[in-house]
Amino acid sequence: MQRLGVLHGVSLFFMIALAGTRPAPAGALSNVAAFMPTSGTVAWGFETGLGNDDLFSNFSHGDETPNSWWRVDLGQAFDVAQLVITSRSGLANRTNGAVLRAYGLDGVTQIGSDLTLSGFGDASPLQIAFDNAGAGWTEVRYFQIGGEGISVPYLHVAEFAAMADVDVFPGFIPGVTATASETWFPDPSNLDVMARHLVDNSGMSDQSGPLGDPGASHRDAHGALWHTDANPIEPTVTFDLGDLCALERMLIWNHNQPGLYARGFKDVLIETSSDGLVFAPLDDRNGDDPGNATIPISPGGDAGYQADVALQGVSARHVRITALASHGDVYWGLSEVRFYGVPEPSTCAIAAAGMLTLVLLGARRRPANNHRAADR
């Protein structure tokens, strides 16, 4: 009985330890409204598609009628956890007071109650998240914003994002964060050029899932990317995967901005780290060229990745890219970086596995010893 109690205790500890590891994700939150079909009232040529194109510097512009409206079709029904809505800088009164409604598959049956948009400022905040009092929206295909409550004509939607759980491509690691050593025009109103865009899937063609598809393309656009100020000196971008992972590959979409493809990183030094303090370089991939890898220039258009970097199972939580040269521009940047691999078991889990093995071996040996004692 005592042996069974010990085994039970160790097994329980083992299960708790395993629970502390991060399992391969079955899904991840993604903006399922990006680039989906839109409709509504239009003025001055600012089409409705400007309201969900992953760019914050432009906007959808309704007409002067009291019932100006904007609508997006998600293509299928989603359980939406959160909406992130961006107003036009300096004209918050063209979004505050607008009424949000959600609809089911038929586009007619309303899901939940009306939600009045409020809280936007002319300078800040330009971007507000709404979660329907924590309940989200279930089985929604359409969202519509009506301008009947705004104080002036011309409903504006600068950007509309609907965050829902989508499938993840096998091996893709979501939830990565990125930090850059510098960023062009680091102002709160500049939402188009930010380090976070390197890992938030903005501009990517697979946002409705499966997220992380290696065949996805990045849109040729003036945003949803990151770049430095002019004439940087060895700028870096550091990625935090959230946990130690056995990394297999890293895909890089180089700077994909119309007419400005030469801003893309060319020669780079790629390093990995388990603690974010001590970094070790990958083996050399580019011969006599500077650094240890060379990233081809983007061809333009909606482009696939330019570099597939084999990481060969290296154990790391952090990856750092240091740029040593661009393709010729004085500004240097990237569009998207994605990582693939599997989470590694925690130290606690490994220790628990070792302890369980020792106890089981001891349990097997003990009866044999007891028999020998009885024989004597």
The alpha carbon torsion through 303, 299, 184, 237 (nearest 10 deg) reads: 70
First to last CA, the chain: 24
Asked if 270 and 263 count as a contact pair (C-beta separation under 8 A), the reply is no
Judgement on whether residues 130 and 256 belong to the same structural domain of the protein: no
**Residues 253 and 353 placed together within one structural domain of the fold:** no
Distance (Å, whole) CA 282 – CA 307: 15
Under 8 Å between Cβ of 202 and 300: no
Q: How far apart are CA 65 and CA 238, in angstroms?
A: 48
Residues 295 and 364 placed together within one structural domain of the fold: no
What is the C-alpha separation between 284 and 230, in angstroms, rounded?
Answer: 28
φ, ψ for residue 278, nearest 5 deg: -105, 120
Range of the domain at 190: 171-344
- Mark which of 116, 147, 167 sits at the end of a domain: 167
Full-model pTM:
0.85
**Residue matched to tokens 């038929």:** 106
Query: Do 163 and 186 belong together in one domain?
Result: no
Q: Return the percent helix, strand and coil in the chain, to nearest 5.
A: 15, 35, 45
Same domain, 205 and 243: yes
pLDDT given at position 185: 83
Q: Looking at 167, 189, 217, which one is the last position of a domain? A: 167
Going by C-beta distance under 8 Å and a sequence separation of 6 or more, which residues neighbour residue 324?
A: 234, 266, 267, 268, 269, 290, 291
CA–CA separation, 102 and 114 (whole Å): 8
Tokens 């693939």 sit on residue:
340
Residues 311 and 326 in one domain: yes
Do 17 and 37 lie in a common domain?
A: no
Query: What sign for the dihedral angle of Cα 69, 75, 80, 83?
Result: negative
Please indicate, yes or no, whether residues 340 and 199 belong to a single structural domain of this protein: yes
In this prediction, the residues of the chain whose per-residue pLDDT falls under 50 are 1-22, 24, 347-361, 363, 368, 370-374, 376
Instruction: Determine the pLDDT at residue 346.
Output: 56
Give, in degrees to the nearest 5, the angle at Cα 140 between 137 and 144.
95
At 359 the pLDDT is 42
In this structure, are 237 and 367 located in the same domain? no
Looking at the fold, whether 197 and 78 belong to one and the same domain comes out as no
CATH of the domain at 124: 2.60.120.260
Task: Give yes or no: residues 333 and 191 share one domain.
Answer: yes
At residue 152, the pLDDT reads 84
DSSP codes of every residue in 7-45: HHHHHHHHHHHHHTS-PPPSEEEEETTTT--EEE---TT
Out of 109, 133, 167, a domain closes at: 167
Please count the residues of the chain.
376
CB 237 within 8 A of CB 334: yes
Alpha-carbon dihedral of residues 297, 299, 303, 306, nearest 10 degrees? -30
Count of structural domains within the chain = 3
- Say what the pLDDT of residue 57 is: 87
Same domain as 265, residue 183:
yes
